């Protein structure tokens, strides 16, 4: 029941301790039964006089306990039917013995020669007999206060409230016996509540009456120095002996069969995987023979402790932990407001759960703080172990209250997270990564998981089709399995639309919830390179067969020679849509070459490069505009992951675009000013980076001429170029310029792990001849990034840095 409610981790750990509680409870009852046998038939026993007696001693008592335990084993091996019949006979016997004790208290008068001092009580030496007054108001008055003494069965240790409570509490731990036997009942939903409540009521009334009569008739000194004083005051002493022996035997039998059923439940739920499979294989006609045998062995081990009071305290602490978990389960479900939680017990309220939870927690430490701490630590260790190693299928099958509680809390905090209170000081990337097939982008998915910096991470995918024609949209299980395989902290969003562009619009606008919305969109690069299947590549760290079912592969991939899913024009339209929706944009290329493990151990790879120059429109303006600051922020985030690398910023000296018709180089004063300004900006941002000056943009006249041609080419996006301009010639010169820029970057990337390059804005959607411009735009970017290390083309649209934090 606990595992079905609290989840596999909590239920399995507490269920394991509940199993040990029943084992210890059985051992405690057997110890009590043995103690009763020895006091009656051992040396100085009530029924043997000077005749032959049972030998007494530590190991003789262990032998007697083992014989009783074996008798209980035989009853359990026969099955629950014999247990039920035995319990009925024992109940009748105990009831008769209890009534005889009540009558004896009321009918017999006082006698100071009735109750002898036990032989093992060496602490009390005032007389050989203990006083007994019979019904007396004075005796009742004297017994109202606390009169703790020494425990003569435990080396005369001082008894206090915690010890007394621990021993007495063990007498009411059978409240869960009905739940333990739920698998054997015809109608558990009806039998368990009525049976449990009636048993508790009967026990409570019996204990109250017995306690009251004892307080009225027996002085405190007698109760402290002879734990079996009820026998000599009984009209027929064997009644007491029979009652003690049958009651303890019944309790031990109930706990033994209960522990075997709990162990069977743990094995059925596969809480410990295949470790307990032998329990299932050892079941015969519904009776868990192997579980009974294991429980019997465990009881034998506990019996070696010997002391009844010590076993009773351990037993009480373990049962209290189980009751704490039961209260926690009910309280947790009530607090989550789960609609399916509708208890039939009309007096149920979360107040009683809270009181029960706090009461059991406090009393655990009152009884014995050492035992309580050990049990809680063991419980936490089991919770962590089961969380790490338990089968995920079982957790999904039964659910977990932790999921309901997290949903309740997350919803509350999401409502409190107000986007109007966002401040740039606390900016972090909230990323939507658009993927075509997970098979071909595993390194990129893994990389973005590091780039998110504890922010939102959503992996988006678009299925092209008509909603009416698609039969099955349930692909979430595959995507969650993919996230588990990649070990990334991300969400997935899959949408269906008539085109890729429309689907990306849906994902960009609707992904996330509340203030947790993507602010950065990351796409792969549009090129002709065939995708690489990282699930099938033998050397890939992401290799797996989990997504292959025979010849059918989940997440199909575009093979070499297959047409692309959409045109380059639609790709550029997606870029334009992203910027129109005020989202930061990143295009990633060459990430199939990324090897995080190699970067981590390599001494050759040393740098993360940042190129804060708009290659499409190089100027000598501020090298740290909004786009460049966004690039720098991303570079610093990755530097936190790759701590052994350094950031390099390439300061590219260019001619001022306001210079008309000349290509003269900048003055030395201007060069110094730019570098000093960049250094000052880095200092204010508290960024440590190396500044590398690049002079090709201003020193090479042919290069500068081609750059000016590119400016003219990009001006055509705004329809500002004269109509008689030779477009083909302009494009050829622009490609030469890009090839030269690529060569500059490539020459300095030999030791580079990752490059951030300024991404110029794409042609506007209203541009004349947009299709041709789109193809040219992508072609220029392709030339710029050819044969580079893993590269991110970045275009930022919002402020992401602050010097005040």
The pLDDT tens digits for 696-746 are: 665 555 555 555 556 555 554 454 434 445 567 777 878 888 888 899 899
Q: For the chain, what percentages of helix, strand and coil (3-state, to nearest 5) are there?
A: 55, 10, 35
Helices (H), 269-288: 277-281
pLDDT higher than 80, residue 119: no
Strand order in the sheet with 646-652: 491-497, 457-464, 431-434, 520-524, 584-589, 791-795, 752-758, 607-611, 646-652, 690-694
Element housing 118 (H / E):
none
Give the model's pLDDT for residue 697.
62
Top pLDDT among 509 and 267 is at 509
* Choice among 64-68, 567-571, 627-631, 682-686 with the minimum mean pLDDT: 682-686
pLDDT higher than 80, residue 158: yes
Average pLDDT, the chain: 81
Give the list of residues 6+ apart from residue 99 with CB closer than 8 angstroms, or none.
none
Give the model's pLDDT for residue 180.
63
pLDDT higher than 50, residue 326: yes
Give the model's pLDDT for residue 665.
41
Give the list of residues 6+ apart from residue 249 with CB closer than 8 angstroms, or none.
29, 33, 68, 71, 72, 90
Mean of the pLDDT values across residues 250-263?
A: 85
Q: Which residue(s) pair with 544 in the sheet?
A: none
pLDDT tens figures, 626-679 = 888 899 899 999 988 888 899 999 887 665 443 333 334 444 444 555 778 788
Mean of the pLDDT values across residues 244-264?
A: 85
pLDDT higher than 60, residue 549: yes
15, 32, 17, 24: which is closest to 250 by C-alpha?
Answer: 32
User: What residue ranges do the domains of the chain occupy?
Assistant: 1-393, 425-566, 571-656+669-804
Residue 783 and residue 791 in contact, taking contact as beta carbons nearer than 8 Å: no
Mean of the pLDDT values across residues 510-514?
A: 90
Q: What is the CATH number of domain 425-566?
A: 3.40.50
Phi, psi of 399 (to 5 degrees): 80, 170
Top pLDDT among 802 and 49 is at 802
Give the model's pLDDT for residue 181.
64
pLDDT above 70 covers a percentage of the chain that reads: 85
CB atoms near residue 198 (< 10 Å): 10
Same fold, 1-393 and 425-566: no
Q: Residue 6 and residue 100: Cα distance in Å, rounded? A: 45
Give the model's pLDDT for residue 580.
93
Give the model's pLDDT for residue 126.
82
* Choice among 41-45, 392-396, 492-496, 759-763 with the minimum mean pLDDT: 392-396
Token code pair at residue 208? 């109250």
Q: Residue 570 and residue 575: Cα distance in Å, rounded? A: 9
Mean of the pLDDT values across residues 515-539?
A: 88
pLDDT tens figures, 410-466 = 888 888 988 888 888 888 899 999 999 888 899 999 999 999 888 999 999 998 888
Give the model's pLDDT for residue 410.
87
pLDDT tens figures, 61-108 = 889 889 998 988 888 887 767 777 777 888 888 889 889 999 988 887
Secondary structure E strands in 685-790:
690-694, 752-758
Mean of the pLDDT values across residues 206-210?
A: 91
pTM: 0.70
Query: Is CATH 1.20.1740.10 correct for 1-393?
Result: yes
Does residue 738 sit in helix, strand or coil?
Answer: helix
pLDDT tens figures, 572-618 = 999 999 999 999 999 999 999 898 889 988 888 999 999 988 888 77
Q: Which residue(s) pair with 585 in the sheet?
A: 521, 795
Residue 118 binned pLDDT confidence (cut-offs 50, 70, 90):
confident
Q: Residue 319 and residue 177: Cα distance in Å, rounded? A: 12
Give the model's pLDDT for residue 341.
76
pLDDT higher than 90, residue 251: no
DSSP assignments along 343-389, one per residue = -S-TT--HHHHHHHHHHHHHHHHHH-HHHHHHHHHHHHHHHHHHHHH
pLDDT higher than 60, residue 694: yes
pLDDT tens figures, 375-410 = 888 888 887 887 777 665 555 566 667 777 788 888
Write down the residue that tokens 């036997």 correspond to.
Answer: 181
Q: Are strands 115-116 and 431-434 parallel, antiparallel or unpaired?
A: unpaired
Q: Residue 599 and residue 790: Cα distance in Å, rounded? A: 12
């Amino acid at each position: 029941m606990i595992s079905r409610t609290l989840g596999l981790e909590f239920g399995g750990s507490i269920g394991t301790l509940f199993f040990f509680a029943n084992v210890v409870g059985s051992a405690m009852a057997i110890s009590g039964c043995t103690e009763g046998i020895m006091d009656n038939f051992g040396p100085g026993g009530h029924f043997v006089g000077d005749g032959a007696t049972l030998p007494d001693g530590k190991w003789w008592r262990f032998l007697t306990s083992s014989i009783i335990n074996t008798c209980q084993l035989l009853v359990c091996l026969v099955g629950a039917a014999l247990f039920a019949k035995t319990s009925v006979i024992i109940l009748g016997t105990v009831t008769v013995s209890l009534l005889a004790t009540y009558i004896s208290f009321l009918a017999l008068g006082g006698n100071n020669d009735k109750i002898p001092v036990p032989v093992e009580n060496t602490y009390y030496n005032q007389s050989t007999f203990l006083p007994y007054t019979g019904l007396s108001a004075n005796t009742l008055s004297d017994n109202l206060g606390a009169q703790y003494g020494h425990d003569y069965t435990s080396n005369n240790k001082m008894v206090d409230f915690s010890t007394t409570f621990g021993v007495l509490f063990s007498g009411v731990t059978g409240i869960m016996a009905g739940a333990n036997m739920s698998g054997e009942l015809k109608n558990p939903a009806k039998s368990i509540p009525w049976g449990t409540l009636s048993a508790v009521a009967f026990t409570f009334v019996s204990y109250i009456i017995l306690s009251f009569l004892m307080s009225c008739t027996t002085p405190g000194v007698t109760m402290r120095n002879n734990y079996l004083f009820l026998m000599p005051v009984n009209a027929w002493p064997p009644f007491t002996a029979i009652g003690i022996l049958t009651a303890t035997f019944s309790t031990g039998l109930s706990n033994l069969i209960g522990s075997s059923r709990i162990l069977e439940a743990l094995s059925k739920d596969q809480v410990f995987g295949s470790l307990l499979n032998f329990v299932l294989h050892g079941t015969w006609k519904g009776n868990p023979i192997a579980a009974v045998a294991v429980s019997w062995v465990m009881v034998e081990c506990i019996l070696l402790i010997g002391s009844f009071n010590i076993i009773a305290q351990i037993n009480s602490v373990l049962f209290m932990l189980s009751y704490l978990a039961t209260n926690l389960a009910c309280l947790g479900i009530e607090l989550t407001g789960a609609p399916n939680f509708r208890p039939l017990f009309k007096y149920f309220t979360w107040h009683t759960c809270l009181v029960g939870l706090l009461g059991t927690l406090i009393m655990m430490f009152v009884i014995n703080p050492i035992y309580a701490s050990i049990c809680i630590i063991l419980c936490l260790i089991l919770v962590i172990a089961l969380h790490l190693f338990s089968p995920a299928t079982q957790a999904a099958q039964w659910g977990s209250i932790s999921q309901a509680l997290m949903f309740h809390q997350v919803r509350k905090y999401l409502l409190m997270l107000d986007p109007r209170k966002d401040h740039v000081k606390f900016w972090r990337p909230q990323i939507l990564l658009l993927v075509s097939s997970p098979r071909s982008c595993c390194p990129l998915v893994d990389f973005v998981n590091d780039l998110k910096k504890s922010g939102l991470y959503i992996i988006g995918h678009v299925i092209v089709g008509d909603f009416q024609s698609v039969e099955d949209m349930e692909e979430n299980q595959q995507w969650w399995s993919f996230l588990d395989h990649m070990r990334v902290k991300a969400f997935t969003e899959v949408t269906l639309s008539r085109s890729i562009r429309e689907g990306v619009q849906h994902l960009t606008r609707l992904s996330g919830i509340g203030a947790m919305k993507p602010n950065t969109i990351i796409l792969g690069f549009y090129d002709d390179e065939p995708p690489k299947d990282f699930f099938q590549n033998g050397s890939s760290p992401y290799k797996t067969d989990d997504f292959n079912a025979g010849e059918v592969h989940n997440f199909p991939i575009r093979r070499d020679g297959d047409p692309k899913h959409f045109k380059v024009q639609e790709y550029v339209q997606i870029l334009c849509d992203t910027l129109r929706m005020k989202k930061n944009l990143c295009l990633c290329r060459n990430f199939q070459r990324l090897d995080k493990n190699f970067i981590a151990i390599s001494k050759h790879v040393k740098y993360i490069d940042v190129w804060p120059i708009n290659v499409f429109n190089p100027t000598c303006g501020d090298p740290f505009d909004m786009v460049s600051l966004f690039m720098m922020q991303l570079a610093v985030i990755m530097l936190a992951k790759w701590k052994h690398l350094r950031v390099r910023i390439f300061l590219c000296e260019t001619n001022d675009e306001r210079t008309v018709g000349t290509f003269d180089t900048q003055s030395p004063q201007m060069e110094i000013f730019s570098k000093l300004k960049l250094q000052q900006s880095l200092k204010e941002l508290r960024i440590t980076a190396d500044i590398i000056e690049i002079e090709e943009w201003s020193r090479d006249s042919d290069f500068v001429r081609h750059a000016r041609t590119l400016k003219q080419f990009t001006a055509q996006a705004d329809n500002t170029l004269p109509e008689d301009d030779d477009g083909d010639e302009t494009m050829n010169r622009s490609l030469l310029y890009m090839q030269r820029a690529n060569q500059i970057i490539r020459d300095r990337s030999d030791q580079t792990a990752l490059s951030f390059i300024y991404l110029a804005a794409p042609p506007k959607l209203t541009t004349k001849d947009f299709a041709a411009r789109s193809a040219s735009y992508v072609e220029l970017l392709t030339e710029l990034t050819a044969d580079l290390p893993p590269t991110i083309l970045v275009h930022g649209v919002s402020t992401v840095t602050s010097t005040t934090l």
